[in-house]
């Protein structure tokens, strides 16, 4: 995909290739946005759904075919649980024929999700893994949404940055940054946990992974939020203009970071273990910056992948412990349970609700025939609460739950989360450092939730700390 193609259609291909390599990427994105706006005005663009919140009905009042779990307010309104339980029990592979995102299948039981996730020969991750499409004109190419073998080559180029060997070297740095954030928190007075802990810690981590200017790290969190929330993709609350602005911003910041790193390495500087250095060191990805959609796609994927997920698990874990105070007491008595609790937090929160696939051929799944070309959504959030798969009541938060590592939140198969070990380490360190400092961490009100069918997240959670005396 070439951003300038629609603008320069009459121009021959070699000239086009030259143009994309000399015109700065953020200008190309501005150009694509201008073109998209023209299309919109001419009535030629794909319509964008508009979502406004109304109270959703009790699922028991709905006919099966009317259940639409793509509604972006289901999580916020606390109804996702009853909706998915009904599907798991009565129609585990469910077809919704007329959602705002078009028709799609929902796969809601653990075993069926595992089947879809491990059969990339039957179910393609292309062109994107959200229920709806990416904003028109901004279709980024990212390996989370590529099938093997292209997926494998691109992923292998970057996975080293979050390899356990690298992480072991980063543990002390992560711990000192976590300590720094926690030591600045107010004690005995309310503050917002999301902003002051979850967002701050994950932005610091991302800035480190990218070797991004530390004082500008707030940009990474903002970009991630916008990139994950186009209404047509996830039912989120960003808009097209914002999406293009952010894409242009990512393009100019990340390409200058890339060029700068490239020049420093060329001048003899030792390459670091940050993501861009690794991409520059790999034959497959060294010239990625000349392929704008692929470059942007990888940057956006790594920014979003390392952000929303860990951030909302940092908030969700505390929210869970407040709803299950006996577990909090158990944790304080036995901090050795932290590693197992981290997996339980990731299961309980399931920060990304699903991944979407497209059937590559007709497939029969749990009695239903999915036709070639149909969209298939694997609802990890539902599979993680499947009573058939978890012996101990899956709706309970149990920090010493047996076999909790089988949770679906990281996905299974070739697309399994690349940053899983980093996420686990960040959460483990957070809880180790919290227990050293605070006797109680009280959530004062129910948190506020993100509008999305994809990100299961929090925008605000008021908390009060009591120090250890």
Partner 1 sequence: MGRITFIEHSGTEHVVDIEVGQSLMQAAVENGIPGIDADCGGACACGTCHVIVDKDWVQATGGINADEQGMLGLTPEITDTSRLSCQVTLSESLDGLIVRLPEFQM
Give the nearer residue to partner 1 in terms of CB position, either 119 or 175.
119
Positions in 192-251 near partner 1 (CB under 8 A): none
Q: How far is the CB of 152 from partner 1 (least distance, A)?
A: 5
d(CA 266, CA 264): 5
Give the nearer residue to partner 1 in terms of CB position, either 164 or 367.
164
6 counts as binding partner 1 under rule CB under 8 A: no
Residue 167 sits at φ, ψ, to 5 deg, of: -65, -40
Give the nearer residue to partner 1 in terms of CB position, either 163 or 467.
163
Q: How far is the CB of 427 from partner 1 (least distance, A)?
A: 16
* One of 13, 65, 98, 156 touching partner 1 (CB under 8 A): 156
Positions in 366-425 near partner 1 (CB under 8 A): 403, 405-406, 412-414, 416, 418, 421
Q: How far is the CB of 118 from partner 1 (least distance, A)?
A: 5
293 counts as binding partner 1 under rule CB under 8 A: no
Q: Do residues 51 and 231 touch, judged by C-beta distance below 8 A?
A: yes
> For partner 1, which stretch binds (CB under 8 A), given 95-103, 153-161, 200-208, 301-309?
153-161
Q: How far is the CB of 102 from partner 1 (least distance, A)?
A: 29
* One of 17, 89, 152, 361 touching partner 1 (CB under 8 A): 152
Q: How far is the CB of 426 from partner 1 (least distance, A)?
A: 16
Positions in 419-458 near partner 1 (CB under 8 A): 421
Q: Do residues 245 and 182 touch, judged by C-beta distance below 8 A?
A: no
37 counts as binding partner 1 under rule CB under 8 A: no
d(CA 258, CA 338): 38
Give the nearer residue to partner 1 in terms of CB position, either 85 or 421.
421
Give the nearer residue to partner 1 in terms of CB position, either 110 or 458.
110
Give the nearer residue to partner 1 in terms of CB position, either 227 or 425.
425
Give the nearer residue to partner 1 in terms of CB position, either 79 or 114.
114
Give the nearer residue to partner 1 in terms of CB position, either 13 or 403.
403
* One of 47, 57, 103, 148 touching partner 1 (CB under 8 A): 148
Total residues at interface with partner 1 (CB under 8 A): 22
163 counts as binding partner 1 under rule CB under 8 A: yes
Give the nearer residue to partner 1 in terms of CB position, either 169 or 188.
169
Do β-strands 375-379 and 102-107 pair in parallel, antiparallel, or remain unpaired?
parallel
Site string for partner 1, 88-127 (x = CB under 8 A): --------------------------x--xx---------
Q: How far is the CB of 273 from partner 1 (least distance, A)?
A: 12
Q: How far is the CB of 92 from partner 1 (least distance, A)?
A: 19
Q: Do residues 161 and 418 touch, judged by C-beta distance below 8 A?
A: no
Give the nearer residue to partner 1 in terms of CB position, either 33 or 109.
109
* Chain contacts with partner 1 (rule: CB under 8 A): 114, 117-118, 148, 152, 155-156, 159-160, 163-165, 168, 403, 405-406, 412-414, 416, 418, 421
């Amino acid at each position: 995909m070439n951003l300038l193609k629609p603008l320069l259609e009459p121009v021959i291909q070699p000239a086009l290739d030259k143009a994309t390599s000399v015109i700065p990427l953020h200008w190309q994105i501005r150009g694509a946005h201008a073109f998209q706006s023209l299309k919109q005005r001419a009535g030629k663009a794909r319509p964008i759904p508009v979502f406004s919140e109304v109270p959703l009905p009790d699922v028991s009042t709905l006919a099966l075919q009317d259940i639409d779990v793509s509604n972006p307010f289901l999580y916020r309104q606390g109804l996702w649980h009853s909706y998915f339980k009904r599907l798991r029990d009565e129609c585990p592979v469910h077809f919704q024929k007329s959602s705002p995102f078009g028709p799609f299948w929902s796969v809601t039981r653990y075993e069926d999700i595992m089947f879809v996730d491990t059969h990339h020969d039957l179910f393609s991750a292309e062109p994107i893994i959200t229920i709806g499409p990416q904003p028109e004109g901004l279709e980024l190419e990212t390996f989370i949404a590529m099938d093997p073998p292209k997926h494998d080559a691109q992923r292998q180029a970057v996975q080293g940055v979050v390899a356990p060997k690298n992480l072991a070297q980063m543990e002390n740095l992560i711990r000192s940054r976590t300590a720094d954030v926690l030591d600045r928190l107010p004690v005995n007075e309310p503050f917002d946990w999301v902003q002051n802990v979850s967002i701050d810690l994950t932005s610091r981590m991302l800035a480190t992974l990218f070797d991004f200017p530390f004082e500008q790290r707030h940009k990474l969190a903002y970009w991630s939020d916008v990139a994950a929330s186009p209404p047509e993709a996830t039912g989120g609350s960003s808009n097209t203009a914002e999406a293009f602005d952010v894409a242009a911003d990512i393009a100019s910041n990340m390409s200058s970071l890339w060029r700068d790193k490239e020049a420093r390495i060329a001048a003899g500087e030792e390459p670091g273990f940050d993501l861009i250095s690794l991409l520059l060191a790999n034959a497959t990805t060294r010239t990625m910056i000349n392929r704008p959609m692929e470059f942007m796609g990888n940057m956006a994927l790594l920014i979003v992948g390392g952000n929303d997920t860990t951030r909302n698990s940092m908030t969700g874990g505390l929210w869970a412990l407040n709803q299950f105070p006996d577990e909090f007491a158990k944790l304080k008595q036995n901090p050795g349970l932290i590693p197992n609790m981290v997996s339980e937090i990731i299961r309980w929160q399931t920060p990304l609700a699903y991944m979407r696939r497209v059937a590559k051929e007709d497939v029969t799944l749990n009695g239903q025939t999915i036709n070639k070309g149909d969209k298939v959504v694997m609802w990890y959030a539902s599979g993680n609460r499947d009573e058939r798969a978890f012996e101990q009541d899956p709706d309970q938060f149990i920090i010493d739950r047996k076999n909790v590592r089988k949770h679906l939140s990281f996905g299974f198969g070739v697309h399994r989360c690349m940053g899983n070990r980093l996420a686990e380490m960040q959460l483990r360190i957070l809880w180790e450092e919290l227990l050293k400092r605070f006797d109680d961490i009280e959530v004062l009100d129910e948190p506020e939730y993100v509008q999305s069918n994809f990100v299961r997240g929090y925008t605000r959670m008021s908390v009060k700390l009591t120090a250890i005396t």
